[in-house]
Amino acid sequence: PALQTLSLALGSPNPFPPSPGVPQFMEIGFVDGIPFARYDSERGRAEPLTQWIKDGVDPEYWDEQTQNAVGSQHVDAVNLKTVQERYNQSRREWGICLHTRQRLYGCELMSDGSVRGYLRNAYNGQDFI
C-alpha cells in the first residue's frame, strides 16, 4: 500500500489574470494510485473523491484539509516565483509563459512491515532539488 500527495502549482510571469477553468494550484491525494481527495484553487475547497473517504471522516476534516491546502498554495506560489527568478524567468520576454512546480510526497508500506517515505520536487517537469 502507498499513500501519495501530488501538488502542482502553476504560475506565469505574465501580468494576465488566471484563466477560468485552469486552477493555479491543486493537490490530489492517492492511495495505491487511486485518487481519493482533491483541492484546487478554482473550487477553493478540499473534497472527497471516493465514497469510503466521504463515509470515513467528519465534515470538519474537509475544513482542515482546505486550510492546509490554502497554506500550501501560498507557500508554493512563493516557491514558484523564487525558482523563476533563479532561472531568470521572472519577466515576460514575449508570448505567454506558463511554469509549473510539482511536489510528490508519500509513504509506502514495505513487505517487511517497514515504512519508506519520499519527497520529489520538479520544475517544468524536470527533477529539481
**Domain segments of the chain as ranges:** 2-127
pTM, rounded to two decimals: 0.74
Q: What is the pLDDT of residues 1-44, one digit of tens each?
A: 566 666 666 665 444 456 666 667 888 888 888 889 999 888 99
pLDDT-derived band at 122 (thresholds 50, 70, 90) equals: confident
Confidence at 54, pLDDT banded by 50, 70, 90: very high
CATH of 2-127, one of 3.30.70.2660, 3.40.50.150, 3.40.30.10, 3.30.500.10: 3.30.500.10
CA-CA distances (angstroms) from residue 67 to 56, 86, 99, 107? 19, 29, 24, 22
The predicted structure's pLDDT at residue 4: 65
Cell representation of residue 68? 492546509
Choose among 48, 50, 49, 74: nearest CA to 61. 48
Residue 17 is given by DSSP the state P
- Please give the mean pLDDT across all residues of the chain: 79
Higher pLDDT, 1 or 85: 85
Place of cell 506558463: 98
pLDDT at 40: 87
Contact present, 25 and 45 (Cβ < 8 Å): no
- The span from the CA of 35 to the CA of 5, in Å, is 9
